[in-house]
Structure 1
Amino acid sequence: MSETAQEPAVIVRREGAVAIVTLNEPRSMNALSGPIKDGLAGQMPLLLDDQTVRCIVLTGTGRAFCAGGDIRAMDERGVTQVRARMERSYRWLFPLLAASKPVVTAINGAAAGAGLSLALTGDIIVAARDARFKAGFPGLGACPDLGVAYTLPRAVGLPRATDILLTNREVSAEEAFAMGLVTRLVEPEQLMATTLEIAQALAAGPTQSLGLTKRLLRRAYELPLEGFLEQEAMAQAAAFGTEDFAEGVAAFRAKRKPAFAGR
């Protein structure tokens, strides 16, 4: 159980085709405790496999999104124990990063260490103006983890990512937005309303096309041009074969809004 009486460490609720996943240990600023990790490991695969879920939102309860790793788990420092702990996290992290359905993160307050990593699992990152970001890892003598050394350079470029991950300086929401770490910046009281508006629009979109687009964006950093264009052609052929593409063309011709079904 979480620090909030009678509530789980990870809360999942549905808003139509949107699943909202909330880290729920506010007294520890949603640091990645065993219960939170177990909650993510239990819930994420189910949500990713559920065809009725067409967008996932990840956020935190209280004054922080996620303050990083749970310091209580860091007494186990043996190579075997650390690698086993990381590999358990990868069981839910990799599917989340590789997900075809859209993921939106809503950053309330601090996102530090592993919280910064979690923030960057979002395809769209919405931050309140009082949010703040910090690597955290250098302050402990640890290495960046949960994929942040992979995702951060892709978001802000290698020089800025190096600055953030080596100096351990705090980045304000405004600076994060200016450098591209954050994609939307809103007033704190508008955070969830704005996030849900974005998520509902994505959930109502052409799910297969969006997933193929995400795959192309990931491969853009890995393939030479010829290989990328081959993947692009295959993705477009797959998109043209979906029911949503047929609906999109019909709606365009009829001058009406398309009703995508996610197929």
Structure 2
Amino acid sequence: MSQFETLRFEKNNGIATITLNRPDAANSLNLAMAQELMQAAILCDSDRDVRAVVITAEGKMFCAGGDVQSFHQAGEQAPQLIKEITANLHAANSRFARMRAPLIVAVNGTAAGAGFSLAMAGDIVIASDNAKFTMAYTGIAVSPDGGSTTLLPRLVGLRRAQELIFTNRVLNAEEALDWGLLTKVVAADQLAEETAKLAAQLAAGPTEAYAQARALLLSSYENGLECQLELESRGISHCVGSRDGQEGLGAFVERRKPNFTGE
């Protein structure tokens, strides 16, 4: 059902899968891909039948970051091009962060620059054992984008974030796992299977509870304790009143497996 040129978009059994599809260009992010990521994010955010979202990539690379060739070719127009690309990329990031469905990122190879930023956006991040991670931005004399200056310090701490940004240190998959950037590392030939299994589990889960949990975690960065406590109270109350909430309570009392519908 893909309607895009730079990525594939497929929806099956409540799972939306977005596959970056510029393997000949290392899945680097050009204007077209940024625009299509934003459009795909809107589809995921708007469709209540989507109960889990997967982002992965075609080929040996996850994403090499921005399409430096197109930036260079733009010459004096490069600043305007970058503003347009980041406007679309950041709109996509915002919608992925605020949609109700949980986001899984399956990193099949090197994630650099904006690719690293995109990988960090996942609620769950699974990487193949041959994946590598590097910020790369300052290597071409630019500063980070894609939300990385918010996410990276919160995941690894300020000192490690500074090291990754200023030195462009390359982390292998096991190091990235140890640093807290990943959820899990699997063998390259098991990545698709492990991702599909996890996506199916989440798509069959209590989507509204996931949505409330995602929103609470996002707002915890900026709220004080009392504000967050009130949001937690409202969130759990909303969940209990939902169809899945009632199903979850009933299944617990009746000692049976719940059947969640995402409502």
| Structure 1 position 38, deviation (Å) | 2.9
- Tell me the TM-score normalized by structure 2: 0.93
Q: Equivalent residue for 1:8?
A: 5
Q: Which residue identity is paired with 1:44?
A: A
Q: Distance in 2 between matches of 1:261 and 1:190?
A: 29
Q: Distance in 2 between matches of 1:194 and 1:15?
A: 16
Q: Equivalent residue for 1:4?
A: none
Q: Distance in 2 between matches of 1:52 and 1:67?
A: 31
The alignment's C-alpha RMSD in Å is 1.5
Q: Equivalent residue for 2:88?
A: 88
8 Å CA contact 2:19, 2:55 repeated in 1: yes
Q: Distance in 1 between matches of 2:30 and 2:81?
A: 16
8 Å CA contact 2:31, 2:85 repeated in 1: no
Q: Distance in 1 between matches of 2:179 and 2:239?
A: 32
Gaps of at least 5 residues in structure 1 are: 1-6
Q: Equivalent residue for 2:165?
A: 165
Q: Equivalent residue for 2:184?
A: 184
Matched, 1:115 2:92: no
Q: Equivalent residue for 1:67?
A: 64
Q: Equivalent residue for 2:223?
A: 223
Q: Equivalent residue for 2:51?
A: 54
- CA deviations over 1:53-83 (Å, ceiling 9, x no partner): 1010000001011010001232345544433
- CA deviations over 1:79-137 (Å, ceiling 9, x no partner): 44433332232222211122221000000110000000110111000000100000010
Q: Equivalent residue for 2:196?
A: 196
Q: Which residue identity is paired with 1:177?
A: L
Partner of 1:62: helix, strand, or coil?
A: coil
Q: Equivalent residue for 1:30?
A: 27
Residue range with higher mean Cα deviation, 77-86 or 211-220: 77-86
Residue range with higher mean Cα deviation, 20-29 or 76-85: 76-85
Q: Distance in 1 between matches of 2:69 and 2:240?
A: 51
Gaps of at least 5 residues in structure 2 are: none
8 Å CA contact 2:105, 2:125 repeated in 1: yes
8 Å CA contact 2:106, 2:127 repeated in 1: yes
8 Å CA contact 2:56, 2:105 repeated in 1: yes
Q: Distance in 1 between matches of 2:110 and 2:190?
A: 17
Q: Which residue identity is paired with 1:110?
A: T
Partner of 2:62: helix, strand, or coil?
A: strand
Q: Which residue identity is paired with 1:121?
A: A
Q: Distance in 2 between matches of 1:40 and 1:86?
A: 11
Partner of 1:260: helix, strand, or coil?
A: coil
Q: Equivalent residue for 1:3?
A: none
| Structure 1 position 41, deviation (Å) | 2.5
Q: Distance in 1 between matches of 2:95 and 2:259?
A: 28
